[in-house]
Chains A and B, each alone.
Chain A
Amino acid sequence: DIQMTQSPSSLSASVGDRVTITCRTSQNIDNYLNWYQQKPGQAPKLLIHGASNLQSGVPSRFSGSGSGTDFTLTISSLQPEDFATYYCQQSYTRLAFGGGTKVEI
């Protein structure tokens, strides 16, 4: 099974900050890496697919990069509505999720 290591598990940031979340996989997954945002009481929402492709309707301050085993989600200028938990997920072999990163004020 592919293991997903997401870091940090939580972070504190302010509006306007640049935020970076990393995801590392235990084996090469090419670009089969996706990022989701989850707010309390809501289902997760797809932000980035294929490591770097912005999902339709998602603000351009979100971006993704990486390939192989190391991936990054970046929020260029944190907005109040971005305080949430973020998950990476691989689809290379079956599915698996990272442990999540809670972005707090």
Chain B
Amino acid sequence: QVQLQESGPGLVRPSQTLSLSCTVSGGSMTGGGDYWSWIRQPPGKGLEWIGYIYNTGSVYYNSSLDSQVSMSVDTSKNLFSLKLASVTAADTALYYCARGTTSLKGWPIDSWGQGILVTVSS
């Protein structure tokens, strides 16, 4: 059973870059058919997909965040990363990393990290 763990600073200053990593354990990132995603949830609100990346490095971003977001993957270290530039208070949220799979119909997300709260404040 794959497990995911987010890490990174819990506080980021406005206009700075938010950087998070997700370490994957209990499985390999090199298997075909899996995609590695970042999802966020502002306090008291719903889920917002940020983007996902395949082990090949192909990335797909939410068009509303496209100018701010970059993602990378390091399969040798079993981790993938998120950078969100020029953050504002609106980027304050619980950030989840997650695994999606094309092995199930509907290509769902079947594993989630516990989430990391990132607050944007001066």
A11 at the interface (CB under 8 A from B): no
| A residues 5-19 touching B (CB-CB < 8 Å) | none
Please tell me if the beta carbons of B96 and A43 are within 8 angstroms of each other in the complex: yes
A100 to B44, CA, bound (A): 11
Give the nearest-CB partner of A52 in chain B.
B105
Count A/B pairs, Cβ under 8 Å. Answer: 74
Residues of B within 8 A of A31 (CB): 105-106
By a CB distance below 8 angstroms, the chain A residues around B110 are: 46, 49, 55
For the complex, what is the distance from the CA of A53 to the CA of B47, rounded to whole Å? Answer: 22
User: Which A residues touch B64, using CB under 8 A?
Assistant: 1
Residues of B close to A1: CB separation below 8 A: 63-64
Question: Does A50 have its Cβ within 8 Å of any Cβ on chain B?
Answer: yes
Closest B residue, CB atoms, query A35: B108
Could you say which residues of chain B place their CB within 8 Å of the CB of A45? 112
Q: A91-B100, A97-B48 are in contact. Are A43 and B114 (CB under 8 A)?
A: yes
List residues of chain A with CB within 8 A of the CB of B49: 89, 94-97
Q: Does A103 contact B (CB under 8 A)?
A: no
Q: State whether A34 touches B108 (Cβ < 8 A).
A: yes
Which residues does A use to contact B, with CB under 8 Å? 1, 31-34, 36, 38, 43-46, 49-51, 53, 55, 87, 89, 91, 94-100
- Provide 10 A-B residue pairs closer than 8 Å at the C-beta atoms, listed in order of the A residue: A43-B96, A46-B109, A49-B108, A50-B104, A50-B108, A51-B105, A89-B108, A95-B49, A95-B109, A99-B46
